[in-house]
Chain A
């Protein structure tokens, strides 16, 4: 039940223009999951530590659990649901499958989006830089070794693609 003022949020989610009425205090994660049915982004720690809620806002990773939906106005939100092009998976997704870089899968959507943001920014990131960057995404199945293998694989694929 609504108690506060309402504003019209106009944004783009996974390439699609979206307009809906939200309350000023609504968090982006709740709008994505509850209003738009995009349940790939997970709520876990709720304090910007674990990364399970990672989505990209204009290409930058943010914690959807701790960002107001208000911040998405006029900007582009990318969730895990919007990463593949139809049936064609993004190279980071393919690499996670190829390297079995997940166990329970709860961290995976956030992990994949963080890796995409990193490789978009720094295609030549060193193994040390990759580890440092992914400090903010926690996998409690402790699948980090295969996750790092997947990042290396994705990095190769993306570089080959860009050199073609």
Chain B
């Protein structure tokens, strides 16, 4: 209602880690900031009976990093969260704010894509649910109507025997490439039953690699530990963008290297746990 009253002169504000920097740079100017942190119930983590995780939109990166529920039940998310920017940003920045800002060089979308996460958007009494891919559709471009608010990020239950790894690389404060790999393995942890691989930061939005994922099905874990050859070209089809972080070709190369490393790391975790 506040948003409706003020129109485009108002903007939703949570941690401010992106918004305030943009405003200080003169990239945005708003007469009113509406603090969504004052909405009760948006700052919690919930686990339903089926094992699905709900992350309130104003949960901070630090909460994700330190929560026992996340570290034990969704370790790939904790691994990602503890690598976000620095301790100060993690103490203040929120997961919902991160997704709504839509910065391409950012950690959370990549890891969330590997979890098949969805988001819930509320408007007065109505709500709708979108896949992450349908929510973050372009740089700084969330699918969010003027009077809608992101209330939660929803993560389906992890399959049994799922092992993940999140790797990032960059020479600047923000990541140049981010890779999240999740392997669901057979009972003896010798072969891949299902693979999910997401790459972020190299292009306008983070993306899954469906062709590689289907190639990975049935592959021996030992083969991944030694460096899966097919991953060597994983980056070639990516919609990479040349920017301050490097050329598109460089980023495609980095993506291939880090996909291979992330698969090896996830495979090693699967073997170690077996």
User: Which chain A residues have a beta carbon within 8 Å of chain B's beta carbons?
Assistant: 24, 27, 46-49, 51, 54, 57, 60-63, 66-68, 70-71, 114, 117-118, 133, 135-137
User: Which chain B residues have a beta carbon within 8 Å of chain A's beta carbons?
Assistant: 16-17, 20-21, 24, 33, 35, 62, 85-89, 91-92, 173
- Which of B20, B21, B62, B173 meets A68, CB within 8 Å? B20
Asked if A136 meets B33 with Cβ closer than 8 Å, knowing A66-B17, A66-B20, A68-B16, the reply is no
Q: Across chains A and B, which 5 residue pairs bring their CB atoms closest together, nearest first?
A: A136-B86, A60-B91, A63-B88, A61-B88, A49-B173
A sample of 29 cross-chain residue pairs with beta-carbon separation below 8 angstroms, ordered by A number, consists of A27-B20, A46-B24, A47-B21, A47-B24, A48-B17, A48-B85, A48-B89, A49-B86, A54-B88, A60-B91, A61-B88, A62-B88, A62-B91, A62-B92, A63-B88, A63-B92, A66-B17, A66-B21, A67-B20, A68-B20, A71-B16, A71-B92, A118-B87, A133-B87, A136-B85, A136-B86, A136-B87, A136-B88, A137-B86
Contacts of A54 in B (CB 8 A): 88
Shortest distance from the beta carbon of B27 to any chain A beta carbon, whole Å: 12
Instruction: Tally A-B pairs: CB < 8 A.
Output: 52
Bound Cα distance A49, B173 (Å): 7
Shortest distance from the beta carbon of B58 to any chain A beta carbon, whole Å: 13
Shortest distance from the beta carbon of A10 to any chain B beta carbon, whole Å: 16
- Beyond the given pairs A49-B173, A68-B20, 6 more chain A to chain B contacts, judged by CB atoms under 8 angstroms and listed by A's residue number, are A48-B88, A48-B89, A51-B86, A67-B20, A71-B92, A117-B87
Contacts of A51 in B (CB 8 A): 86, 88
Main secondary structure of the interface of B (DSSP, over half): helix
In the complex, what residue of chain B is closest to A110 when comparing beta carbons?
Answer: B88
- Which of A24, A63, A133 meets B33, CB within 8 Å? A24
Asked if A114 meets B87 with Cβ closer than 8 Å, knowing A60-B62, A66-B24, the reply is yes
Bound Cα distance A68, B89 (Å): 14
Contacts of B92 in A (CB 8 A): 62-63, 67, 71
Shortest distance from the beta carbon of B55 to any chain A beta carbon, whole Å: 19
Asked if A61 meets B91 with Cβ closer than 8 Å, knowing A48-B86, A51-B86, A66-B16, the reply is yes
Contacts of B35 in A (CB 8 A): 70
Contacts of A47 in B (CB 8 A): 21, 24
Contacts of A137 in B (CB 8 A): 86
In the complex, what residue of chain A is closest to B30 when comparing beta carbons?
Answer: A25
In the complex, what residue of chain A is closest to B37 when comparing beta carbons?
Answer: A71
Bound Cα distance A46, B23 (Å): 12
In the complex, what residue of chain B is closest to A133 when comparing beta carbons?
Answer: B87
Contacts of B17 in A (CB 8 A): 48, 66
Contacts of A67 in B (CB 8 A): 16, 20, 92
In the complex, what residue of chain A is closest to B20 when comparing beta carbons?
Answer: A66
Q: Are B87 and A61 in contact (CB under 8 A)?
A: yes
Bound Cα distance A29, B172 (Å): 24
Contacts of B87 in A (CB 8 A): 61, 114, 117-118, 133, 136
Bound Cα distance A57, B60 (Å): 14
Contacts of B21 in A (CB 8 A): 47-48, 66
Contacts of B89 in A (CB 8 A): 48, 63, 136
Shortest distance from the beta carbon of A153 to any chain B beta carbon, whole Å: 21
Contacts of A46 in B (CB 8 A): 24
Shortest distance from the beta carbon of A137 to any chain B beta carbon, whole Å: 8
Q: Are B16 and A135 in contact (CB under 8 A)?
A: no
Contacts of B88 in A (CB 8 A): 48, 51, 54, 61-63, 136
Shortest distance from the beta carbon of A151 to any chain B beta carbon, whole Å: 14
Contacts of B91 in A (CB 8 A): 57, 60-62
In the complex, what residue of chain A is closest to B83 when comparing beta carbons?
Answer: A132
